[in-house]
Structure 1
Amino acid sequence: MTNASVAPGSTSRKTHDAEPGALDGVVVIDITRVVAGPYCSMILADLGATVIKVEHPDEPDYTRTFPPMLQGDGARSMSGFFAQYNRNKLGVTINLRHDDGKALLRRLVESAHVLVENFRPGTMDKLGVGYETLRQINPQLVYAALSGFGQHGPYRTKPAYDNSAQATGGLWSMNGPLGGPPVRVGTIIGDLAASLYGVVGVLAALRHAERTGEGQLVDISQQDSVLTLTENAVVNYSATGEVAMPLGNQHPFVRPYELFPCADGFVFFGGYTDKFWKLSCEIFGAPSDFADNPDLHSMAVRFSDEAYRDRVRPLIEGWFRSRTKAELENLAGDHVPLSAVKNISEVVADPQIAARDMVIETEYEGFGSLQTFGSPIKLTRTPPRVRGLAPHTGAHTETVLRDLLGLTQDEIADLRRGGTI
């Protein structure tokens, strides 16, 4: 395998931040759609990899139709959802049902370092471009397969979505109001977690390939990923037999560490240690709140159901009831853990978010500007590039086939006429 990449000046680097990233020179083939997969390859692209997003010419990633839709010139529209998870990528169309399309993918793999796919296990094998086939072409290839239940096991061929992972990974069963029915976590946490673990796996496998010349399969399951997000549920069950149930906004064993109402909304307050409890009594309450309750000086007492329900929580509610979120945050300062519960409009305007460059604005010609989340990975020498564009369907097909594979214009035209690209 060579370190070939698309020729300078013809890549998406025109839309990227100027400096090369930490993964500069790494070529990634992205055969994914929706989120579990596109988010993984987007992070690799942010970190400097050249990511080639492969879509079917007639059936592109259907998140291109997901809201919100940006209206452009004439009747053109563009999905902000798609743009958020596909920035910094080169768009290529290849029909993998065509023999010529499979041949193109095999040629791309010769010069690639990573391939990411999120089909149901066995799909790529049926197409004749699965891991065992591609590793014969490129022994150093890191092949990342993200799926609902992984590449082996009794569930491997089941169809799956994020909700499937939340349901079978245990998270859904323990989320919801205290004493109430389970409630889905309010985001696609299974997709996102699988993508993040996918990045970790790819980077580890790349390091191994650089050292040994040996690629490998990175097998990521959404169910596995969700299970690791259940905190103490597994160890608590194995040690005591206790099954985690919905607790609302409470923590399984730490108190106070939850949501509290205030004059204009809600705050999270986590003053559960003895140090923080004493400070909280001094900052929010009356001098007597601490002195008059010597038995509450111990965490063990405050954690007990009866003391927390009858004395600790009512005391805190009295402190917060007449104060606003801003007043409480100002009082807490850097002394005790208290944070306003912010809606997304407040988060976008948050000065800490701004200081960390976590809401970024990208200009799409003909559509205007689009705000999306930035990168939480902060590197001092090779910072992520976060303002690159998401490609239109097949926008870079000719560029990639010409510059990476050396195809002529006539060969590219023949492939287009035949419906391969």
Structure 2
Amino acid sequence: MSLITTTSQNPARLRGQRDYLRLLGARVTGGGANQMLMVALGWQMYDLTGSAWDLGLVGLAQFLPALLLTLPAGHWVDQHDRRLLLAGSLGLQCAVALCLALASVQDWISPHLIVMLSILLGAARALQMPSQQALLPTLVPPALLPRAVAASSASLQAAVIVSPALGGGLYAMGPWLSRLFDSAKTAATMNGARWGATLVYALSLVLLVAAICCVLTIHRRQPQGRRVAPGLTELTAGIRFLWRHPMMLGAISLDLFAMLLGGATALLPIFARDILHTGPEGLGLLRSAPGVGAVIVGLALARVPITRHAGAKLLGAVAVFGFAIIVFALTSSFWPAFLALAVSGAADMFSVVIRQSLVQLETPDEMRGRVGAVNSVFIGASNQLGEFRAGATAALVGPVASVLLGGIGTLAVVALWWRAFPALARRDRLM
């Protein structure tokens, strides 16, 4: 059954399908912009400092505001127009991209500025993720939600494939642009790397504006819950809901600890330059590699959805992710490293589709914002805080040992979760 073809000419269903495609467009353009921003931020920070610790600080700076804003963000999503909140979060990212572009081209970029703007990116994502997640189930029928999640995630990962590689390639064009546009006097104060960073940030800004346009053309979707003041009881409702549903809690926390330990994204600039001996274009390809595997799996699951043994397959996918990270840590050649990251992306996509489908199907609409906010802070912890963990550990024991220990830790988490959350391991069908 197709996600975009209906057997009925029901106007409401047709409108929902068009809105679904607009949300898909916003995810692709906004996600692509974000990936290019992170490629340029990571390489530029490493250019400025040469420090693994500072690379980790970029992730920590994005995580802390997301943690602090999680509960109020979830309440806002359940009380207000989710489209406008999503557009506002993208608008804040536009401001960050513009500031980074100006700071780079005018030569006043600094590590402190990068960290400060990373804080704003974290605040924007605190609102973006729950509003985006809460919108999707209102646009498709429940029976099609697992396929919609798979198709949406695959589309986003397609952007993740193209955007980092494009961002890295544009960054690498900096010296050529410097020779083309700079006078000899200007070239003494502006190197090619800053030209390349400016180009990446400018394109990210254009893509973010396109994402905002897509979001604002979605028809208004007013949350079904009653309007209430943001008291402590309402703010913490998402946490209490998950606590009463251990199967959902196990699925979300599995991703948190697996990615917290196994994430290696923050260290890719170090691996690219010092271990795999490549440049920013190679970094872009490495950041794209997980997306290659993820798109293949996402498209397959959109066509042939998971029907049985969902819990066991979720745990198995996370174990495959951990093995792939171990292989990446131990290789010193570019293409084996690329392949290991692609396998990690494929395994992660498999787990994402199962986890998000379970959370969306088990959560009533009036709670989706608050539950989605808790889910988003778990994802943020696994990504941004995981980047800080990787950078801090690499500063102590080196990048290879940091990633290797993370992969081993991921396997330990899978074994522990299999025993700690038996309801998750026994879950058969998504529906």
- TM-score band (shorter)? under 0.3
Q: Which has the higher contact order (CA 8 A, sep 6+)?
A: 2
TM-score (norm 2): 0.26
Find the structure with the greater CA-based Rg: 1
TM-score (norm 1): 0.26
